[in-house]
Amino acid sequence: MSAKNSKSAMSRRTFIGIGSAIGAMAASDSRPLLAQPRSSQPVVISSGNGFLYRNGGSETCVERAYRMITEGNDVLESLVAGVNIVELDPEDTSVGFGGLPDASGNVTLDSCCMHGPLKRAGGVAALQGVRTPSNVAKAVADLTDHHLLVAEGAQDFARQMGFQIEDDLNTERSRQRYLEWRRRIDPSHYPDPNRQAKLNQESIKKFTRNSIKIAHEMANEGLIDPEHLYGTINCNGINSNGDICGVTTTSGLAWKIPGRVGDSPILGAGLYVSNDHGAAGSTGRGEANLYNLASFLVVEELRRGADPKDAGMTALQRIWENTETRLLSENGEPTFNVNFYVLGKDGRHAGVAFYGTSNNGDQRNYAVCDENGGRHEAIEGLIR
């Protein structure tokens, strides 16, 4: 073999050897591979109330957000504009203006948002006086170096940013529901003039029970929406560039202990976004979700390659495993519901829950808007 041919063969062997070594190193590298940028079909998903309330207008939450995204607006700006519809609509008693108040009669609001491509996040908790806490959460993300402001500090910040502060966010409807709850849980101090004459000590003992049980009792009587005891709206979206954002906003648990904060404003619980992998948000029993930071877990499952449905089901299984015995039925199933709304980097999505149907058999749904328009799609249940 000539020196030239020998040198050429050695170069080829060297190149092949180096390439094999690099391949072996890549195969043994346990670091996660980032998703490659790609174009996506725009889509917006949310909890079911995102395709229900219009606040007197022509668009629902998911429809407005989708329209704005496809018009070229920032994804998070579009999602916040969408949830503003629900926050401002007094007919939804689980979000914003007219949300069911705490045990002192005050409407206190929580929200958080995450901007995937900019890697920004912001939240507010126990905020009073501002109908659209999602806007304040976005201001925290855009204008501060913090992720979460609470109570008076959150309100002071909102005032400084020019938000209107109102004395009371109750509507006549939410106030009447609150008074009915007080009459049932504390009839000796909040007598009902229509039935007070009939009350005796035995009936007082009957009504003075756990506040959540009374809330369920009122729901069974049609006085409040059973889906709004832990009411919230989560909304996630992706544009054609693959940019993913999310927002969650709520008035929290009906008649909660003043100062209670649920999962909605907490990053990783009520919402989590990774621009490389997807987004997840939650509604339902916030304490269960908080204990597990389950929205973060959902996105981690997306990162590992799970599809949106399976990622959500994994989080539900984790919550179930970590649930206190007192919150399980006789057959060991959760006595509460948790829902996840999951959006993948490729635009695939799913809504999952412990119970995809209500106790009376009605199908629970989540909201979607894409090129085929706004609609409800069925939530898939882990248990039923």
Residue 340 per-residue DSSP state: E
Q: Which of 381, 347, 343 is nearest to 362 (CA)?
A: 381
**What pLDDT, in 10s, does the model give residues 83-115?**
999 999 999 999 999 999 999 999 999 999 999
Answer for the pair 380, 350: CB distance below 8 angstroms, yes or no.
yes
pLDDT at 293 over 60: yes
pLDDT at 334 over 70: yes
Q: What helix, strand, coil percent values describe the chain, rounded to 5?
A: 40, 20, 40
pLDDT at 14 over 50: no
pLDDT at 299 over 70: yes
Pick the CATH number of 43-170+227-381 from 3.60.20.30, 3.30.70.3340, 3.30.1330.30, 3.40.50.150: 3.60.20.30
Average pLDDT, stretch 141-165?
98
Task: Share the mean pLDDT of the chain.
Answer: 87
- Cβ within 8 Å of residue 46, ≥6 positions away: 61, 62, 82, 83, 233, 234, 235, 236, 341, 366, 367
pLDDT at 209 over 50: no
> Residues 29, 30, 36, CA angle at the centre, nearest 5°?
85
pLDDT at 319 over 90: yes
Element (H, E) at 237: strand 233-238
Average pLDDT, stretch 313-326?
97
pLDDT of residue 35: 45
Residue type, 171: T
At 22, list the tokens: 């690099």
- Within 10 A of 67 (CB to CB), how many other CB atoms are there? 18
pLDDT of residue 228: 52
Instruction: For 71, list phi and psi in degrees, rounded to 5.
Output: -85, 0
Answer for the pair 109, 133: CB distance below 8 angstroms, yes or no.
yes
Answer for the pair 356, 363: CB distance below 8 angstroms, yes or no.
yes
pLDDT of residue 20: 43
pLDDT at 21 over 60: no
Average pLDDT, stretch 70-84?
98
Q: Where in the chain are the domains?
A: 43-170+227-381, 172-226
pLDDT of residue 264: 98
Element (H, E) at 361: none
Q: Beta strand pairing status for 278-284 and 365-370?
A: unpaired
Place of tokens 């906003």: 249
d(CA 37, CA 254): 42
DSSP 250-294: E--STTPPTT---STTSBTTTEEEETTTEEEEEEE-HHHHHHHTH
- Cβ within 8 Å of residue 231, ≥6 positions away: 49, 92, 93, 94, 95, 99, 100, 225, 250, 251, 254, 283
d(CA 257, CA 351): 30
**What pLDDT, in 10s, does the model give residues 117-150?**
999 999 999 999 999 999 999 999 999 999 999 9
Q: Which of 295, 246, 289 is nearest to 268 (CA)?
A: 295
Q: Which of 241, 236, 310 is nearest to 273 (CA)?
A: 236
pTM assigned to the model: 0.83
pLDDT of residue 224: 63
